[in-house]
Structure 1
Amino acid sequence: MGASLFLAGCSDDVGVDQHGQKVAVERLEGQWLVINYWAEWCAPCRTEIPELNALAEQQKDKGVKVLGVNFDGLQGEELSDAVDKMGIRFTVLAEDPAARFELPRSEALPVTYIIDTQGKVRERLMGEQDAAGLTARLASLRKGE
């Protein structure tokens, strides 16, 4: 079965990114996903972003994809401007993937979800994360694959 099963019936993409480019499902299949919800007004988000940038860079060839989602639902140029202001270098989805991955809504930020290669939520991490901690969590979860 595998990752294609959890994406079956979904559209061929997961919306667009902060640059208006389509994010194809194929780019996410078979990957561990680290999905972080952030907002410009969230102080811990601001200090967490460089850590997520580092994680995305460290893990890019290791089957892990870091994705961001703007908590306030910014779109188009507003989203692109916010991403630039926050210094985000990883993919930010314009469309909230919560329904696709059955993510519970969080009223607190930042919140980060770790999703396995089958599309199953494995962790919900509240509060500011760092690259080392996320790398350790991923390593621990992947041992069970």
Structure 2
Amino acid sequence: MLTGRGAVALVALAGYACGPGGGEADGGAADRGADVSSYMDAVPSGAKPAPEDVFRTLEGGEASFRDLRGNVVVANLWGTWCLPCRDELPELVELARIYDDRPVVMLGLAVDSGDVDEIRAFLEEFGVEYPNWMMGMDDAVATFGAVGFPTTVIVDREGWIRKELLGPQTAASLTAEIEALLR
């Protein structure tokens, strides 16, 4: 049982993000086995490829980031168990509304958040209408390097991860990032 300073530090950490760390994660170029020199010429500065993984949808199908190419994708890793994720949801709902008619996809990635019915009930409570896929904690860490939640990953139209942000985001701050990629 934590008491004193340990409990205060834990509460302070939980108030920022569900997990250790904070701020913006660095993204470096990754090699998919292509010729390194030509590959490096095509990689936007500081970017890495979006994952090739296939995710389960709430409708029972499968989807991948490849399916979303041509759109800027704002992928938010969240959990029903994560208090900062709950606080952030109204901002993401607003962001989805702002970009409803533009080539931008707001995407939720529910991490270890129960079965489909539990996730749907949670999303309904917050008025979330944008697509959500499901994944486990181990996959969130292995695929995205998630060190805390919420984590937001912004993918450009060509499928390159351009930003990885830890902690709750606002519609205003994400709008600036999205607009830069739509130019």
- The bucket for the TM-score relative to the shorter chain is 0.7 to 0.9
Distance 1:25 1:107, change over 3 A: closer
Distance in 2 between residues matched to 1:19 and 1:34, nearest whole Å: 20
Distance in 1 between residues matched to 2:166 and 2:66, nearest whole Å: 28
Gapped regions of structure 1 (runs ≥ 5): 1-5
Distance in 1 between residues matched to 2:122 and 2:55, nearest whole Å: 18
Deviation of 1:82 (Å): 2.8
Report how many residues are paired: 131
Distance in 2 between residues matched to 1:128 and 1:42, nearest whole Å: 11
Gapped regions of structure 2 (runs ≥ 5): 1-48
Greater CA drift, 50-59 or 85-94: 85-94
**What pairs up with 1:20-31 in 2 under 5 angstroms?**
20=60, 23=63, 28-31=68-71
Distance in 2 between residues matched to 1:111 and 1:55, nearest whole Å: 16
Give the equivalent residue in structure 1 for 2:168. Answer: 128
Root-mean-square deviation (Å):
2.9
Kindly indicate whether the alpha-carbon contact (under 8 Å) linking 2:153 and 2:163 is maintained by their aligned counterparts in 1: yes
The 3-state SS of whatever aligns with 1:94 is strand
Kindly indicate whether the alpha-carbon contact (under 8 Å) linking 2:66 and 2:159 is maintained by their aligned counterparts in 1: no
The 3-state SS of whatever aligns with 1:54 is helix
Distance 1:74 1:27, change over 3 A: same
Distance in 1 between residues matched to 2:167 and 2:66, nearest whole Å: 30
Residue 59 of structure 1 pairs with residue 104 of structure 2:
no
Identity of aligned residues (%): 31
Q: Which has the larger radius of gyration?
A: 2
Kindly indicate whether the alpha-carbon contact (under 8 Å) linking 1:75 and 1:94 is maintained by their aligned counterparts in 2: no
> What is the identity, as a one-letter code, of the residue corresponding to 2:130?
F
